[in-house]
Amino acid sequence: MQFKRAHITNFKLLENVEVDFSVDRARPLTVIRAENGSGKTSLLTALQWGLYGEKALEDHTVPLSASHWPAGTPCEISVELAFNHTAYVVVAGQEHVRTREYRLKRTVTEVVEGGKPRRSSEQISLLELTDRGAEVIRAPRQLLEQILSADLRYVFFTNGDAAMNFISPQLTRSDKRSQVRDAIKALLEIGVIEDAINHVRRVQASKRKETGSVGGDVARLASQVEELTTRLEELESKKKEITDALADLTTRHETADRALQEALQRGNQEELAKRLANVKQRLAGAQKMLAELSHEHQALLNSEALSWSLMDVRLRAGANVLRGMHDAGIIPKTAVPVLRDRLALERCICGASLAHGTPARQAVEEEIDRQRASDAFQQRLTRLYHQAEADVADRDVGQFSWDSRLEAVLINRTEWEKVLQEARAEEESVRKQIEAIDRVDIDEKRRNRMSIGSALSQKREQLQQVELDVAMVGQSLAQVREQYDEVRKRHNKLRRVNAQLTAAQDVLSVLDGVMDELQGAYLERVSGRMDELFRQMIAADTDLPEQMRVITGASITPEFDIVVHAGNRTLNPDHELNGASQRALTFAFIWALTEVSDTVAPRVIDTPLGMMSGYVKRGVLDLISSPPTLSEPDRQVALFLTRSEIAQVEDLLDQRAGVVFTLTNTAAGDLTCRHESDHPRIVRCECNHRQYCHVCSRLDDATYGLISREEKPCQ
Amino acid sequence: MASPKLVIEAIKRQCAGVEVRFDGYEKTLLTTVSEILTREREHRIAPTNVQQKVQDHIEVLGDQIWRRSEEKA
Amino acid sequence: MPVNDVVNPFLNASLRIPARDWPLVEKFTTTQQAQADPDKVPFRRYVDLWWAGLCIGVREGRRTELPPNEWHRFNDGTPLSADPWRIIHLQLLAVGLTEDAKILDDPGAIVQMANEYCATGLPMLLEAMNQSTEPIMVASEFLRERCVVAVIAGAG
């Protein structure tokens, strides 16, 4: 399908707006520049309503006409769409390709009363433009559904914000899986195939019943096959339920675990306990040092140095007296040894005889006795003299300097006091942190996680059991079928019915195979292409936080989860990607879907580049607007962009856009020129992404470097 | 809806793997399956007695198998 | 110096302090309170505090005589043996103050002289310590001020 142009009448503020689309293969992009409130959402809805009618409306109670339309007055609303469609048809086993041109018009009349709309039945006309003229298509809805199923409209008509539903923390995991699965199913027509499989199975069941009418073994076996088939279907359905429940429980368990880890992180008990032990050690060390210093200080008050420092003068005076005595020869006394020597020689120094019995000897002996009596004292004096001399010498070299020792002790004490205070402060801080750990909260979170974990285990067991049952019943069914087929073959009456059963089985096996192929192989293809596109888009993002730069890709699991890979780790895109990367991932998924499906339809996106910075924006735009290669079918992309989204990618739009124009709300508050109109409406001008004119000029145009397309000043 | 081309190619591949019941069975089976899917698509747009239609297609195919096997016999 | 090298001539002397100062002497010595915090009880033994008082009294240059009943004898001279330098210092002090070595023959007189100098200095130190929650710091500063003055002035 390829849009050529659309004309919208009275759809919201789109009073009379013509929209054309680029059909240039080399420049497949259509850019509709419009600020917020300038009809982007209305246009997106109008196009979908034109194709699908009421089904395309999110809320049927909201009027389609503009709010200024007089209440109670009928308003005729219409959307006309000119488009091409290329169809693939199988005739006699051969493929045929045909492109046709169509004109579609959908009209409805609406009256709004009390704020509530009443709408007439929609009138729809679809014409095929042939060489013979316009031919009316009798079943337009059927044809439109065949061309582009309503199930796919949110893939091909995308609101940038709403697309986030594939990656939304608000949805449960099973809901998101369903969304992804449904998107893939719709695109690959899996729903149609599933329905066909169910109908063929019913045909099988009814044919088996027919064989049962023959009676005997055939009837019995037919009945068994039927029972086992029903049982198997029930088990498969139960398995799916359990699998979905398991997915939800897994998500809840992950959430509970994350909550517990966060709570533990806030008060990492082990780490705090270590810190406390460490600080206590430092505290004890400081206290010990201070105790030692205190004793050292005390010892200073009882020291010889203090005595010298206070009594220096008097002590030196004493020492001086003794020195004087020494210098005068009063100490040490040496007479006694000399006199004794003389007695031994029995001759005095003067020559007199000191023989025994002489008066001289007696005098000397008495002198020796007298000298001995005062020797003890002399000795003490002499000893005191020597000790005093030594001490004074030590004092002079600073050995007994008390105040310098005191100063050293005081400095040490101050430093260690500081260490002690710091350790105390840290101890208090750590204790406070420990107290702050909400143990109750942690215990509760732990219990919660345990309880979910226990439910998870039980669910896993249930799944294992049901898988076992499925395998056993499947095996039994295969055995019984084999017996049944054998018995059938032997029974003549059943040949025709048998042949029909064979036909049904063959059709079923083809449909099952197609289903597996579409789901398996195409899921892989969608996943692979999504991965390529996503990596291209974010590779250019230099604003990504460091840990995001290790993203190695994205994939869709067999369970239809969209996950992001970072090395060996799998990231949860709900929580572990920034907004721009989430949006890029969503686009990559949608783009991959449409590419792999080979569905050729216009991709219309409202505000695709919101929340994206320069590099990611460029990467995404580059990808979604690139022209097709030679082997690819024509491509058509229409983007509704604000000035802000266009900023910094103007050059890319220069290259890729085949059609660019601007829509403006005449009642916008930041327009430079006034519009003469009694009511707001959306008007089109031919300004491209680098221009402005009197219709669309805004106050901040200079910020975007826009240039005027005309010389006409504002009125 | 998906590109019919995609589905058609998948059907072709699957049909090629089915036991040949008679000459041209592969093409006949392909046509039958394609027709069944077309009926299903139509039913999605506007309700029809799709079950009966599917049964009819299968019976037609089945009858072809039966007749060809009778002829052989 | 090794204890054995110094003979203690003051063994029989009486170490005394003013009786009125005894309660505070007990407060600021660890003799009766072995586990006391040095910061609050800066002096280990009575003789240590007596000596500090003696040093301050010598620094003040005054002796305080008291009637016999106003003295408290806390020990004989035995504790002086534990710090032989005290024996040296007492003797040097006595000789320095009297300018006569003969005083050394009268250990009793030396000790009495020391008691009277202590009676001058001890109350001053006790009063300062008793007015603070940090006696060791106050005592240190009190003593340090006097050291500095003594060194600079060269007088005593």
Q: What is the pLDDT of residues A187-230, one digit of tens each?
A: 767 788 999 999 999 999 999 888 877 677 788 888 899 999 99
Do at least 3 CB pairs under 8 Å connect B with C?
A: no
In Å, how far is C154's CA from the nearest CA of chain A? 7
pLDDT at residue number C155: 41
Are the beta carbons of B40 and B7 closer than 8 angstroms? no
Residue A581: pLDDT band (50, 70, 90) is confident
Helix A402-436 / helix A304-327 crossing angle, nearest 10 deg = 170
Are the beta carbons of A598 and A631 closer than 8 angstroms? no
Beta-carbon contacts of residue A711 (< 8 Å; ≥ 6 apart)? none
Are the beta carbons of A591 and A604 closer than 8 angstroms? no
DSSP A218-249: HHHHHHHHHHHHHHHHHHHHHHHHHHHHHHHH
Q: What average pLDDT does the structure give for chain A? A: 85
Residue C152: pLDDT band (50, 70, 90) is very low
Which chain A residues are Cβ-neighbours of C39 within 8 angstroms?
A: 294, 297
Distance CA A192, CA A186 (A): 9
DSSP label at residue C19: G
Distance CA B35, CA B41 (A): 10
Locus of tokens 């004490």:
A413
Nearest Cα residue to A211 out of A224, A196, A197, A230: A224
Are the beta carbons of A18 and A5 closer than 8 angstroms? yes
Distance CA A441, CA A430 (A): 19
Are the beta carbons of A530 and A554 closer than 8 angstroms? yes
CB contact under 8 A, A196 and B15: no
Domain count, chain B: 1
Question: Distance between alpha carbon A203 and the CA centroid of its chain, in Å?
Answer: 50
Locus of tokens 């220069």:
A654
**Least confident range of A38-42, A385-389, B42-46:** B42-46
pLDDT at residue number A711: 67
Partner-chain residue, chosen from C6, C42, C100, that has the shortest CB–CB distance to A298: C42
Q: What is the ipTM of this complex?
A: 0.96
* pLDDT higher at A594 or A477: A477
Distance CA A694, CA A477 (A): 76
Distance CA C123, CA C128 (A): 9
Distance CA A83, CA A127 (A): 11
In order of A581, A604, A607, A656, C130, the CA distances from A611 in angstroms are 9, 18, 10, 22, 75
Kindly state whether A410 is in contact with chain C, defined as any CB-CB distance less than 8 angstroms: yes
Q: What are phi and psi of A88, to 5 degrees?
A: -110, 125
Locus of tokens 């004092």:
A395
Q: What is the CA radius of gyration of chain B?
A: 14
Q: Each residue of C75-104: b (16+ CB within 10 Å) or e?
A: eebebbeebbbbbbbbbbbbbbbbeebebb
DSSP label at residue A484: H
Kindly state whether A325 is in contact with chain C, defined as any CB-CB distance less than 8 angstroms: yes
Distance CA A286, CA A284 (A): 5
CB contact under 8 A, A322 and C83: no
Distance CA B35, CA B5 (A): 14
pLDDT at residue number C118: 97
Residue C3: pLDDT band (50, 70, 90) is very low
DSSP A179-212: HHHHHHHHHTTHHHHHHHHHHHHHHHHHHHHHHH
Kindly state whether C140 is in contact with chain A, defined as any CB-CB distance less than 8 angstroms: yes
The residue count of chain A comes to 715
Beta strand A2-11 pairing with A14-20 = antiparallel
Distance CA A659, CA A472 (A): 62
pLDDT at residue number A674: 79
Locus of tokens 């002397």:
C13
Kindly state whether A312 is in contact with chain C, defined as any CB-CB distance less than 8 angstroms: yes
Which chain A residues are Cβ-neighbours of B62 within 8 angstroms?
A: 496-497, 499-504
Kindly state whether A328 is in contact with chain C, defined as any CB-CB distance less than 8 angstroms: no
Distance CA A185, CA A480 (A): 33
pLDDT at residue A289 is higher than 90: yes
Beta strand A562-566 pairing with A569-571 = antiparallel
Which chain A residues are Cβ-neighbours of C88 within 8 angstroms?
A: 384, 387-388, 391
Nearest Cα residue to C118 out of C21, C33, C51, C31: C51
CB contact under 8 A, B58 and A92: no
For C11, other C-beta atoms within 10 Å of its C-beta total 12
Domain spans, chain C: 3-153
Dihedral angle computed from the Cα positions of residues C14, C17, C22 and C26, in that order, rounded to the nearest 10 degrees: -70
With a threshold of 0.95, does the pTM exceed it?
Answer: no
| Residue A352, SS3 per DSSP | coil
pLDDT at residue number A94: 53
pLDDT at residue number A377: 80
Partner-chain residue, chosen from A312, A381, A387, that has the shortest CB–CB distance to C101: A381
- Range of B67's domain? 4-72
- Among A293, A300, A302, A374, which would you mutate to test the C interface (most chain C Cβ atoms within 10 Å of its Cβ)? A302
- Among A314, A322, A331, A391, which would you mutate to test the C interface (most chain C Cβ atoms within 10 Å of its Cβ)? A314
CB pairs under 8 A between A and B: 162
Kindly state whether A320 is in contact with chain C, defined as any CB-CB distance less than 8 angstroms: yes
CB contact under 8 A, A513 and B63: no
Q: What are phi and psi of B49, to 5 degrees?
A: -90, 70
Distance CA A689, CA A641 (A): 9
Nearest Cα residue to C122 out of C32, C42, C22, C37: C22
Q: In angstroms, how far is the first alpha carbon of chain A from the final one?
A: 43
Are the beta carbons of A446 and A258 closer than 8 angstroms? no
Which chain A residues are Cβ-neighbours of B42 within 8 angstroms?
A: 142
| Residue A267, SS3 per DSSP | coil
Kindly state whether C89 is in contact with chain A, defined as any CB-CB distance less than 8 angstroms: yes
pLDDT at residue number A460: 94
* Overall average pLDDT of the B17-42 stretch: 92
CB contact under 8 A, A597 and B4: no
pLDDT at residue number A607: 87
Domain spans, chain A: 191-271+438-515, 274-427
Which chain C residues are Cβ-neighbours of A302 within 8 angstroms?
A: 43-45, 48, 51-52
In Å, how far is A38's CA from the nearest CA of chain B? 31
In order of A472, A512, A615, the CA distances from A476 in angstroms are 6, 20, 59
* pLDDT higher at A73 or A176: A73
Residue A167: pLDDT band (50, 70, 90) is low
Partner-chain residue, chosen from A315, A317, A403, that has the shortest CB–CB distance to C144: A403
Do at least 3 CB pairs under 8 Å connect C with A?
A: yes
CATH number of A191-271+438-515: 1.10.287.1490
Q: What is the pLDDT of residues A426-444, one digit of tens each?
A: 998 888 887 777 777 888 8
CB contact under 8 A, A304 and C147: no
Question: Which tokens in the block code for residue A399?
Answer: 């050995």
* pLDDT higher at A362 or A549: A362
Chains linked to C by 3 or more Cβ pairs within 8 Å: A
CB contact under 8 A, A314 and C93: yes
Chains linked to A by 3 or more Cβ pairs within 8 Å: B, C
